[in-house]
Amino acid sequence: AKHTTSLVTKCEIGESLEEFLTKATTDKALIRLMMCMGEALRTIAFKVRTASCGGTACVNSFGDEQLAVDLLANKLLFEALTYSHFCKYACSEEIPELQDMGGPAEGGFSVAFDPLDGSSIVDTNFTVGTIFGVWPGDKLTGVTGRDQVAAAMGIFGPRTTYVLALKDIPGTHEFLLLDEGKWQHVKDTYEIGEGKMFSPGNLRATFDNPEYDKLINYYVREKYTLRYTGGMVPDVNQIIVKEKGIFTNVASPSAKAKLRLLFEVAPLGFLIEKAGGYSSDGQKSVLDKVIENLDDRTQVAYGSKNEIIRFEETLYGSS
Ligand code: AFP
């Protein structure tokens, strides 16, 4: 069952992205930034769709240049943020260093992004995506995921969608890219219920992490359905769309944590928790972890309340 609030009742399914954002927040700078990122996602979707793949890279032309699609996505996102005029610092997973985008610190934002997550599965034509988180002001370290004012992912699958959440309103909201280039509001998620579906990342860690091995065996024994693509964006998005399930990426001594807190884990944590789900690094919500360094890595799980309780108890419980 869905619950609505007065703000959300005003947001009608079928409306455009701009109509939605205008009703959702009074922050004009944030609206502009989210619209500009939408423009970049639209272009990235086209570039992914028309890339030619061979050897080790998928390339597409941009002006006179031939660029690998992940580098192209990186460039397009930096351009969109400059054009928004409200981005102070931006930082990409490709080069984890702060770039001054020229926007104001006061009233502006700093943005961290993974331009094309799953770049190793572009050639196989699996779904890939862009992830970004928006923080107020000029700080991307010494902050937590909970400080984000917005987070989003662009999903380049059979359909292109822009899935976003804003601090000001509940829910995680999905927009579909139409043929004419507009984003149309198609779905809201407010609750993640229970359901036996699992996405086990970094499975090699079960070799020397007996607790993770125990957790995976539980899913198998209980006949959970396996749904895992190896792309974090589609794997996490399915929890939001199906409103059930669990995604895990657990570390071990020989298979260290690989996912980045700033560029991937915190923005997706914001989307999941706004959708009514839960997140954990094994002990606490990933949104409560202080981002010490731009390149911090962490293990993570996203899912329903009971799945996250089971995850924490199996990994770190006393019994
Ligand atoms: P690439 O961008 O190198 O393809 O990595 C994708 C990713 O970071 C994330 O999207 C997946 O959840 C994770 O890697 C998959 O890791 P496993 O190989 O351990 O499943």
Interface predicted TM-score (ipTM): 0.93
Residue ranges of alpha helices (H) inside the chain are 6-9, 17-24, 28-49, 69-84, 210-221, 232-242, 266-274, 305-316
What are the pLDDT digits (tens) for 145-184? 999 999 999 999 999 999 999 999 999 999 999 999 999 9
Strands (E), the chain: 52-54, 57-62, 65-68, 87-92, 99-100, 109-117, 128-136, 143-144, 150-156, 160-166, 172-177, 183-189, 197-201, 225-226, 246-249, 278-280, 290-291, 300-303
- Ligand 1 centroid–CA 264 distance in Å is 11
> Can you list the pairs that 25-32 forms with residues at least 24 positions away whose Cβ atoms lie under 8 Å?
25/166, 25/168, 25/169, 27/149, 27/168, 29/86, 29/107, 29/108, 29/109, 30/86, 30/109, 30/134, 30/149, 30/150, 30/166, 32/84, 32/85, 32/86
- Ligand 1 centroid–CA 204 distance in Å is 12
What are the pLDDT digits (tens) for 202-213? 999 999 999 999
Residues lining ligand 1, judged by CB closer than 6 Å?
117-121, 201-202, 230-232, 235, 249, 259
- Ligand 1 centroid–CA 70 distance in Å is 14
Mutate which of 249, 272, 298 for ligand 1? The one with the most ligand atoms within 8 Å of its CB, which is 249
What are the pLDDT digits (tens) for 276-306? 999 999 999 999 999 999 999 999 999 999 9
Q: Rounded to an integer, what distance in angstroms lies between the CA atom of residue 105 and that of residue 103?
A: 7
Regions of the chain short of the pLDDT cut 50: 1-9, 319
The pTM of this model reads 0.95
Q: Rounded to an integer, what distance in angstroms lies between the CA atom of residue 77 and that of residue 70?
A: 11
Residues 251 and 265 sit within 8 Å (Cβ to Cβ): no
Residue 9 confidence (pLDDT): 47
Determine which residue's CA is closest to atom 5 belonging to ligand 1.
118
Residue 57 confidence (pLDDT): 82
Ligand 1, closest atom to CA 200?
A: 20
Residues 231 and 126 sit within 8 Å (Cβ to Cβ): yes
Place of tokens 């050639």: 123
